[in-house]
Structure 1
């Protein structure tokens, strides 16, 4: 055997032996391994590895996110029920007490919802849409007027649109420094986001600006909707932020998860029958989110709805719900069509 290889094998064996000895003397979680994905409702065994030289101890305190789960005086496995656990990464800890000594072990799990329901679509009607409109926000008022926010630097606007003909009833253009993003209606007010200017604008129904507000923790403006009590804002991450409808101050957020983990790139939003519908940026996908828990309960596959898509800057990005007629509409950036669609369960 080559002498160098022999020496390397000896060193490797020594390193493995040392690592094994260190693990044997370390207080740690055997299960779950850090980052284990757990479906909501599953039971998770919390099993500890105790130091090999430990003959006795006073107690072990198990906790999740700092809240005590159990106190034990033996090494029996503790079972964690995740039925009522919030989605996302949950930190697990175990504190071992012996006399005046304390040792701490950590792990974490990622709790996710069940797989979402899957939907396809059926096109009910097609309407003209301005192919120069880089659609970022879309919403009907009670009178059937379609309000649209468009983006792109130097081309951003706020519009009233006759959805049947595609004609622009009224339009104002944003200052060139602003990149228009999502919008929603709160009574007689129109709320429009900008992308990276850290500011939102407030208008009346005549498109006259009556106020503005700064963002909080969510620095980007992407999508916006209104649930009747609060504004819900996306910023391109997996978070939805809740804003006060009068002061526009952020008052909390939720993380959005499907059965695989957090879902990023949440974009244009619409609130429909207690759920948030969100475009997923760069994908022909709309997800249906429970705003109470952050769980994605449904996924609408709209691949192929618009045959003239370019390779980029032409994404699906516009959801509008006609509450009076119970009709769902979608469009995209620079699309020449506005589609009324019906969901088809798969």
Structure 2
């Protein structure tokens, strides 16, 4: 697959919106001033080119719809990125020239990556337990010392209560065949469960498993992983984004973009919250990314590919499923159709 740097993307995608008078566009961003990627410890130099040598009246500069600078000429302005969220920052310059009342707009973007270098983490296997190979694991979470598991696949999706020491299924509730089950989490005495492409979620009573509510996502996204911090729910959609949901209304109230020091981390899947940090499976990779919840910075990477050497079931799919047991302070991990569930301790 071809690789394109950011400057090429800006060159291809930057839009210059004129005044609606049918005239040619006169201004463009000076791309030579842009770096390929920034961190939020840097500043960006924003400057414009005046291809037709028009007489400038004034210029207003905006970053993500916030006015950040003004000028009477086209000299470069410096904008500090401290505090900027990770991800793309939309740049707009409104250029007033030749006495025109309506400005010409120049639109582009830059990308902010993490300034944190992730640590390579280690793990120790504490115990190995049997796991049901028919379970296409999508969500894993402890509730009152019992392991809950959400599974996927059309016609086979279930919510399960599992005796993790034996692998025996203690209770199960199947989803209707038109739903592909995804992540689960327990908050406020309720079990929340996502579906893949159906844009539908379910809320059950955590004790009786009675379905109390069906809700529709308020964003046009897929449902992947799920966790909570005791107050809010967080979910992934297969991109680099983690959404924050109000459990009372099921409305999205924020999000963070997840980045390493080099690039965005896409295909985030199953989630687990522990003390202000989120642990996320990266789909199609036997990796867990450790993510600072409030910023999206990846602070650590855990390679669990070594666990595959213990699997005997040939149809085992990708790693997926992270549960934290606060009593033992250990993690429980498995995968889709894996024959084993591993209790591990994570260290630096």
TM-score range, shorter chain: 0.7 to 0.9
Q: Distance in 2 between matches of 1:170 and 1:151?
A: 16
Aligned CA distance change for structure 1 residues 105 and 197 (closer, same or farther; 3 Å): closer
Q: What is residue 255 of structure 1 aligned with on the other side?
A: 257
Q: Distance in 2 between matches of 1:311 and 1:39?
A: 43
CA RMSD across the alignment: 2.4
Q: Distance in 1 between matches of 2:127 and 2:216?
A: 39
Shift of 1:277: 1.4
Shift of 1:121: 2.1
Residue 305 of structure 1 aligns to a residue whose secondary structure is helix
May I ask how many residue pairs the two structures share in their alignment? 319
Q: Gapped runs of 5+ residues in structure 1?
A: 1-24
Q: Distance in 1 between matches of 2:343 and 2:108?
A: 48
Q: What is residue 11 of structure 1 aligned with on the other side?
A: none
Could you list the per-position Cα deviations for residues 24-76 of structure 1 after superposition, in whole angstroms to 9, with x for gaps in the alignment?
x942222456783112211222233234634x533322221222222223443
Q: Distance in 1 between matches of 2:215 and 2:161?
A: 22
Q: What is residue 336 of structure 1 aligned with on the other side?
A: 339
1:67-78 aligned at under 5 Å gives the runs 67-78=66-77
Q: Distance in 1 between matches of 2:340 and 2:316?
A: 16
Question: Is contact 1:94-1:104 (8 Å) kept?
Answer: yes
Q: What is residue 328 of structure 2 aligned with on the other side?
A: 325
Could you list the per-position Cα deviations for residues 174-223 of structure 1 after superposition, in whole angstroms to 9, with x for gaps in the alignment?
22222221111113221112222222222222333232212221442211
Q: Distance in 1 between matches of 2:114 and 2:325?
A: 29
Q: What is residue 90 of structure 2 aligned with on the other side?
A: 91
**TM-score where L is the length of structure 1:** 0.84
Aligned CA distance change for structure 1 residues 213 and 107 (closer, same or farther; 3 Å): closer
Aligned CA distance change for structure 1 residues 107 and 219 (closer, same or farther; 3 Å): closer
Q: Distance in 2 between matches of 1:258 and 1:126?
A: 31
Shift of 1:161: 1.0
Q: Distance in 2 between matches of 1:146 and 1:319?
A: 11
Q: Distance in 2 between matches of 1:263 and 1:100?
A: 47
Q: Distance in 2 between matches of 1:92 and 1:42?
A: 16
Residue 177 of structure 1 aligns to a residue whose secondary structure is coil
Shift of 1:269: 1.1
Q: Which runs of 4+ in 1 moved over 4 A?
A: 32-35, 309-313
